[in-house]
Amino acid sequence: MSTLAIAALVFTLLVVLLAGGVWIAVSMGVAAWFALQFFSSSPPEVNLFQAFWGSNASWTLAALPLFVWMGEILFRTRLSDEMFEGLSPWLQWLPGRLMHVNIFGCGIFAAVSGSSSATCATIAKVALPELKRRGYDEKMCLGSLCGAGTLGLLIPPSIIMIVYAVAAEVSILKMFLAGVIPGLLLVLLFSGTIVVWALLNPDKTPREIDRLPFVERLRRARNLIPCLALIVFVLGSMFTGYATATEAASFGVLGALAIAAWSGGLNARTFWASLMGATRLSCMILFILGGAAFLSSAMAFTGIPRALAEWVASLGVSPLGLIAVLALIYLLLGTALDGISMIVLTTSIVLPMVEAAGFDLIWFGIFIVLLVEIAELTPPLGFNLFVLQTMSGRDSNYVALASIPFFCMMVLALVLLVAFPQLATWLPEVVIPKAR
């Protein structure tokens, strides 16, 4: 049997298991065992233990549960209230006024969270009822929160970037740096969308403005200092080379605990809840990574990656054609899988093709993250849709329709990233020689 036929058989088995509701990590493990048992001479049980141990016994990967815990701690503080109070006096001059708090609030919280759903829920729990009380258009409020919540995936420190970096064996620090400019670009595109909408629909924006003296606005801006200080401390320590990603994550946890204690949100109950929440999510991710490592090992022994790369090269598909096909595949996967599963499930198959086509793996990581962001807004399994459905009482399809303008902005950002790869590659190339 040819290697491509073996690949098709293994992939079919994997799809059948996933369609049957088997856990993703278990599905990948069964497919890997099948490939090793029947199409290689390497013992599956040995590879199983080596793959799970090798994928999880990593100093670099230790950053993941720490960043997850940092986000869980801050999710249970009054940070969202303080952020709304600190940002709102400074954004009312823009067309759309307080709706920009959704965008900039999500952008700031994304830099200390690393999670899309946590970012969306944290900002929405304060901004959504407050904006509705003031008479802002509910549809645009939901759409902006749904879109801006995805910034938790792109703005470092991002959990999904850590997962990709481990799966693709690239630098976590480079991935974080690569996400900075695309993240800021999305913030500007989202904010610009609100400006254009407000200018076209002036009757849907309340006219009253809280006219506060400059001194009062400065006083309220103090609420932003703890969060901004934590961002500067965590990211600055990494980008200047003072700390590795793992060490910076440890500092971040200590800083998050300090902010929680300062705001009065730290007690035995919230501490335990944040610890258990981080443990559950981290265990899920590590289990999936172990299954992916086992599948990658099986594919290496059967020669599938090399055969796929040779097959793609023989087709004569242009690099842009390959990227277009992969984008469609990831968008389809996004309707049925979460972002982490999408990445670990496909990297062992896709990366050899991408490398053969001459693409930079750091750039491709940001490309995938943007596609995962789009999936967060795509029915039926867009996680941000579920978050806002729960918080607003609206149907998820209503939220999905409300987010269409922001969906289009993410597609535009994707196009710009393909047209100008330097958006993702320039900053790592400039900074990384100075970093440790």
Per residue in 176-185, pLDDT tens?
Answer: 999 999 999 9
Query: Residue 135 half-sphere exposure, CB side, CA atoms within 13 Å?
Result: 8
In a domain, 417, yes or no: yes
* Lowest mean per-residue pLDDT among 73-87, 122-136, 317-331: 73-87
The contacts of residue 367 (CB under 8 Å, 6+ apart) are: 323, 327, 414, 417, 418, 424
Q: Give the range of the structural domain holding residue 294, as residue numbers without chain letter.
A: 57-434
pLDDT digit string, tens, across residues 204-221 = 877 766 677 778 778 888
Whether residue 324 lies inside any domain: the answer is yes
Query: DSSP assignment of 185-254, as one string?
Result: HHHHHHHHHHHHHHHH-GGGS--------HHHHHHHHGGGHHHHHHHHHHHHHHHTTSS-HHHHHHHHHH
Largest CA distance in the chain: 77
Average pLDDT over residues 264-270: 83
Q: Do 371 and 331 touch, CB atoms closer than 8 A?
A: yes
For residue 435, the model assigns a pLDDT of 42
Question: Residue 94: inside a domain, yes or no?
Answer: yes
Whether 45 is covered by a domain: the verdict is no
The count of domains in the chain is: 1
Q: In this structure, is residue 252 part of a structural domain?
A: yes
Residue from 129, 91, 127 nearest 106 by CA: 127
Going by C-alpha positions, the residue among 140, 135, 70, 148 that lies closest to residue 105 is 148
Average pLDDT in the 348-372 region? 87
Mean pLDDT, to the nearest integer, of 387-402?
83
* Residue of 433, 436, 413, 435 whose CA lies nearest to 424: 413
Q: What percent of the chain has pLDDT over 90?
A: 15
- Say what the pLDDT of residue 336 is: 63
The answer to whether residue 1 sits within a structural domain is no
d(CA 261, CA 282): 24
Classify residue 20: in a domain, yes or no.
Answer: no
Q: Look at residue 142 and tell me whether its pLDDT is greater than 80.
A: yes
Confidence check: pLDDT of 246 > 60 = yes
Q: What is the pLDDT of residue 119?
A: 82
Within a domain: residue 35?
no
Cα 264 from Cα 229, distance rounded (Å): 18
Q: Which long-range contacts (CB under 8 A, 24 or more apart) does 37-45 make?
A: 39/1, 39/6, 39/302, 40/298, 40/301, 40/302, 42/301, 44/298
Q: How many CB atoms lie within 10 A of CB 430?
A: 10
